[in-house]
Structure 1
Amino acid sequence: MVRSEKTRQFIIEKTASIFNKKGYIGTYLSDLTNATGLTKGSIYGNFKDKNEVALEAFRFNYKLQTEEVLSQVNKEKKADKKLLAFLDYYKKEYEVIFENGGCAILNAAVDSDDGNVLLKQEVIGKIENWVYRVETILEEGIQQKELKEVNALEYAYRIIAQIEGSIFLSKTLSQPSILLKNIELLKQDIELLKLN
């Protein structure tokens, strides 16, 4: 059967939030057929197996969550403003993220840890990309004499770990205040990092 890019995209869009909510292991073929209205044959005519659908669904969820935050960050010129834009995105959009099942990276990382090797590799790549972006913002800020000297890589890990951990706790405990308070603490840290 010839794969149709339009049908593949339809399947991905219809199933992405299901994978993010139910997990990549906990999503069954029946979930895919129910969400799309397509048969098992139509799904497997467009994808090798459920793991391939899961991988593409993760990519879709990741893109959805990163396009807007990158758009906000890229509007800023100074390093501290870029970091604050990143944090403000989570402050403003956490409800949408939670409604879609939570952070795509966090969910896929936990779900693929010992199962789907391809998905785990994809998640690792996205985390490395995220760390690199934050680290680069910090390094540029240090070079431009906007920020104090810090170990940019360690600081990037700290920011990301605090955001991801806060999303995990806030969503699991149904207490958004955990995320919001930690965002404010991170913003205070960034203010202290400024040279001017």
Structure 2
Amino acid sequence: MKKGDRTREHIIMKSAAIFNQRGYAGTSLNDIIADTGIKKGGIYRHFTSKDEIALEAYNYAASLVSRKFSEAIDQEQSASGRLVAFFRVYEDVVNNPPFIGGCPMQNTAVESDDTHSELRDRASQGLHTVLDLMKSIIRDGINAGEFKEDLDSDALASFAFSLLEGSILLSKVDRDNKHMQMNTANFSIYLQQFCLKIR
């Protein structure tokens, strides 16, 4: 990797953590300069604006969380286990989230809903990427005979992701992982009682 590419990557990595913790409005160019150790001219050599940095930073943070999801899913054999794996990625969201500051999609969506359409669109893309992955897992479970044939993959994916994001929010606000733990356990029970095919 060329030096310029390494510098650009360094700026993105450092900025991603700042944006995910402080938000777009709460992050200034001076914050980025301070955290990266790169002067203003060096920043603008690689990026045209704070907006461009924020968009690249979001992509970076979201890709890291996506990789954590994939790694957790790959360790599971069953479709139900793969759905629960999403929750396990955030099992210690208070002290050890998959990316510093919590869920990039949630943080970005909440802040940018009415203020920054491009960031909101990135969060929306992230939402649909995860929902599509969950729906694919559910359909695989139906085809394999693990889940009931009439199971609505759209509804279950929406429920699962809503429960996951709500658990992240409650745990972070309360500074207590009990919300994630309780909802992970309850989601597992829900899958067992209402989604698995009776054999």
CA RMSD, aligned part only?
Answer: 1.8
Aligned-residue offset at 1:11: 0.3
Q: Distance in 2 between matches of 1:150 and 1:108?
A: 31
For 1:119, the equivalent position in structure 2 comes to 119
User: 2:157 — aligned with what?
Assistant: 156
Corresponding residue for 2:183?
182
Q: Is the 8 A contact 1:98 1:171 kept in 2?
A: no
Alignment of 1:64-103 (within 5 A): 64-91=64-91, 95-97=95-97, 100-103=100-103
Contact 1:51 1:116 in 2 (8 A): no
Equivalent residue in structure 2 for 1:194, among 187, 193, 196: 196
Q: What letter matches 2:158 in structure 1?
A: Y
Distance 1:4 1:31 in 2: 21
**Contact map agreement 1:29 1:50 (CA 8 A) in 2:** yes
Letter in 2 for 1:76: E
Match of residue 19 from structure 1: 19
- Amino acid in structure 2 at the alignment position of 1:69: F
Deviation at 1:187, TM superposition (A): 1.1
Q: State the SS of the aligned residue for 2:25.
A: coil
Instruction: Give the direction of change, closer, same or farther, for the CA distance of 1:125–1:12 in structure 2 (3 Å limit).
Output: same
Work out the number of aligned pairs and report it: 194
CA contact (8 A) 2:76 2:82 kept: yes
Equivalent residue number for residue 29 of structure 1? 29
For the pair 1:44 / 2:37, whether they are aligned, the reply is no
Using the size of structure 1 for normalisation, the TM-score is 0.91
Alpha-carbon distance change, 107 to 93 in structure 1, aligned in 2, over 3 angstroms: closer
Letter of the structure 2 residue corresponding to residue 86 of structure 1: F
| 1:152 positional shift | 0.7
Q: Which 5+ residue runs of structure 1 have no aligned equivalent?
A: none
Q: CA deviation at 1:29?
A: 0.7
Match of 1:170 in 2: 171
Deviation at 1:94, TM superposition (A): 5.4
Tell me how far 1:53 sits from its aligned partner: 0.6
Contact 1:20 1:107 in 2 (8 A): yes
2:84/2:184 contact within 8 Å kept:
no
Q: Which runs of 4+ in 1 moved over 3 A?
A: none
How much does 1:146 deviate? Answer: 0.6
Identity of aligned residues (%): 30
Structure 1 residues 104-123: Cα deviation after superposition (integer angstroms, max 9, x where no partner): 11001111112222211111
Is 90-99 or 77-86 further displaced after alignment?
90-99
- 1:87 and 1:187 in contact (8 A); partners too: no
Instruction: Write 1 or 2 for the structure with the bigger share of helix.
Output: 1
